[in-house]
């Protein structure tokens, strides 16, 4: 059975859409955190730079 590529693409985007939106929202949140901390102090920015990967690793392993 042959399925048109556009049909497959629509189905793929319907399934992947929420994941794509979630990843973009997370990237925007990290960017916002970084910009806000950069206005406070270099130490706060360093804390965010070290803390974000640690939190992301914890969440990835905890929810896997």
pLDDT at res. 2: 77
**pLDDT mean across residues, the chain:** 86
Q: Kindly compute the dihedral angle of the four CA atoms of residues 14, 16, 20, 22, in this order, to the nearest 10 degrees.
A: 90
Residue 64: what pLDDT? 59
7-27 tens-digit pLDDT: 899 999 999 999 999 989 988
Q: How many helices (H) and strands (E) does the chain have?
A: 2, 0
Q: Which residue has the tokens 């556009």?
A: 6
């Amino acid at each position: 059975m042959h399925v048109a590529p556009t049909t497959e693409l629509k189905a793929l985007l319907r399934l992947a859409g929420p994941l794509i939106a979630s990843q973009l929202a997370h990237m925007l949140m990290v960017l916002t955190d970084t910009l806000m901390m950069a206005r406070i102090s270099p130490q706060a920015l360093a804390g965010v730079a070290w803390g974000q990967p640690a939190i992301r690793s914890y969440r990835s392993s905890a929810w896997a």
